[in-house]
């Protein structure tokens, strides 16, 4: 009767090398993660990120009120038409703070998309999560960058899984006795549920125009050949 042979313990192998299934010392097949979740993509220099340090978002360009080339996403990415890669979005991190007692919250955060864009002339150089250098990515980061040259206006698609800041977009004066409820920093575990194709734009926007609000953000993605 045929059976599956394995080998006990870890091995160091090159790409393409055949190997039996790995077993524990008790003979059980090892099915747990072999290493950290994003390690493989990072070590192969395919994992990149872009974001912004704490920046005021008190402008309609950071919101769904601006879906044209003057939009400045809180976090986002553009994949050039001729890149030859898809951008598999892994996660978003977002932190929001208020900077004064008189404050208007940002409202809900949403994802907006656009397609067939080949002429955007702006963008940040993404961070290579393996080399810690801003080099090697086919994409352009869009955090706090105007989408100059956007061909097709952004379209709001759905709620983001991360929020933060005052939980309303009303103007409120806080006092020591009556502080406004506040959301904590959050992570949106997208896990590949968004794939940005060549020419595509993905942007995180607020739905209200904040007052006395600043944000820090990070968008993480893997670049995979088309």
**73 close to 209: Cβ distance less than 8 angstroms:** no
- Indicate whether 96 belongs to any domain: yes
User: Would you state the pLDDT for residue 180?
Assistant: 60
Inform me whether the pLDDT recorded for 171 exceeds 90. no
**Mean pLDDT lowest among 126-130, 181-185, 210-214:** 181-185
- Residue 4's pLDDT is 63
The angle formed by the CA atoms of residues 147, 153 and 156, to the nearest 5 degrees, is 105
pLDDT, average across residues 194-218: 96
| Residue carrying the six token digits 């393409």 | 16
- The pLDDT of residue 33: 66
- Using DSSP's 3-state secondary structure scheme, residue 15 falls into coil
C-alpha distances in Å from residue 206, one per residue of 50, 94, 102, 195: 18, 12, 19, 21
Beta carbons of 182 and 103 less than 8 angstroms apart: no
Phi/psi of residue 62, nearest 5 degrees: -90, 10
The angle formed by the CA atoms of residues 61, 134 and 64, to the nearest 5 degrees, is 15
pLDDT band of 32, cuts 50, 70, 90: low
Q: What is the pLDDT of residue 194?
A: 97
Asked whether residue 69 is domain-assigned, the answer is yes
Strand, coil or helix: 219: strand
| Residue 82, pLDDT score | 94
CA nearest neighbour of 137 among 203, 213, 83, 201? 83
Residue 72 and residue 53: Cα distance in Å, rounded?
Answer: 14
pLDDT score for 185: 64
Are 188 and 219 within 8 A, CB to CB? no
For 60, phi then psi, to 5°, come to -65, -15
Q: What is the pLDDT confidence band of residue 177, given thresholds at 50, 70 and 90?
A: low
Domain count, the chain: 1
- Looking at the domain assignment, is residue 174 inside a domain? yes
Give a yes or no: residue 167 inside a domain: yes
Is the per-residue pLDDT at 16 higher than 70? yes
Beta strand segments in 99-226, E: 102-104, 109-114, 127-128, 140-141, 155-159, 165-166, 171-173, 182-183, 186-189, 195-196, 201-206, 213-225
Which residues span the domain enclosing 43? 36-225
Q: Is the residue at 143 inside a domain?
A: yes
In-domain check, residue 221: yes
pLDDT (mean) for 183-207:
92
114-120 average pLDDT score: 97
* Bridge partners, residue 186, by sequence: 94
Spatial distance between the Cα atoms of 225 and 195, rounded to a whole number of angstroms: 12
pTM, two decimals, is: 0.84
Q: Which range (13-22, 90-99, 128-137, 151-160) has the least confidence?
A: 13-22
Residue 1 lies in a domain: no
pLDDT at 164: 75
Q: Which of 32-46, 75-89, 94-108 has the highest mean pLDDT?
A: 75-89
Provide, rounded to the nearest whole percent, the portion of the chain with pLDDT above 70: 88
* Average pLDDT over every residue of 47-66: 97
pLDDT, tens digit, 9 for 90 and up, residues 61-72: 999 999 999 999
- Residue at 81 is within a domain: yes
């Amino acid at each position: 009767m045929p059976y599956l042979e394995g080998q006990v313990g870890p091995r160091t192998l090159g790409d393409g090398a055949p190997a039996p299934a790995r077993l524990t010392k008790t003979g059980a097949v090892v099915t747990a993660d072999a290493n950290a979740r994003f390690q493989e993509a990072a070590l192969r220099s395919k994992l990149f990120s872009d974001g912004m340090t704490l920046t005021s978002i008190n402008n309609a360009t950071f919101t769904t009120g601006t879906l044209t080339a003057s939009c400045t996403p809180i976090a986002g990415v553009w994949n050039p038409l001729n890149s030859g890669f898809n951008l598999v979005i892994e996660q978003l991190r977002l932190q929001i703070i208020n900077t004064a007692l008189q404050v208007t919250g940002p409202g809900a955060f949403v994802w907006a998309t656009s397609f067939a864009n080949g002429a955007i002339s702006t963008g940040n150089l993404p961070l290579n999560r393996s080399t810690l250098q801003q080099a090697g990515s086919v994409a352009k980061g869009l955090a706090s960058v105007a989408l100059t040259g956007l061909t097709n206006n952004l379209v709001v698609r759905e709620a983001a899984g991360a929020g933060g800041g005052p939980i309303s977009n009303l103007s409120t004066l806080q006092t020591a006795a009556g502080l406004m409820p506040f959301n904590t920093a959050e992570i949106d575990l997208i896990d590949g549920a968004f794939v940005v194709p060549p020419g595509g734009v993905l942007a995180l926007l607020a739905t209200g125009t904040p007052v006395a609000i600043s944000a820090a953000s990070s968008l993480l993605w893997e670049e995979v050949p088309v």
